[in-house]
């Protein structure tokens, strides 16, 4: 990723709706993929625009 070169101190998170997290990202296979690829997630409750979880 270009930010690793230009801004190495930055961490990029993928923001996702809570319903998508519950219905998709809780699958074992998807959890394995997020771990392997070291995806950082923010789970957001969209109705109130509230962050529910930061997932590393």
Domains of the chain and CATH, by start = 2-55 (3.40.1350.10)
Task: Return the closest-CA partner of residue 56 out of 40, 34, 43, 36.
Answer: 40
Report the pLDDT value the prediction gives residue 56, as an integer from 0 to 100: 83
Beta bridge partners of 13: 40
C-alpha to C-alpha distance for 54 and 42, rounded to whole angstroms? 5
Q: pLDDT, tens digit, for every residue of 12-22?
A: 999 999 999 99
Q: pLDDT, tens digit, for every residue of 1-56?
A: 687 889 888 889 999 999 999 999 999 999 999 999 999 999 999 999 999 999 88
């Amino acid at each position: 990723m270009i930010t690793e070169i230009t801004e190495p101190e930055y961490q990029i998170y993928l923001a996702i709706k809570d319903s998508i997290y519950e219905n998709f990202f809780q699958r074992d296979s998807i959890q394995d993929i997020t771990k392997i690829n070291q995806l950082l997630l923010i789970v957001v409750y969209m109705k109130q625009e509230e962050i529910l979880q930061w997932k590393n």
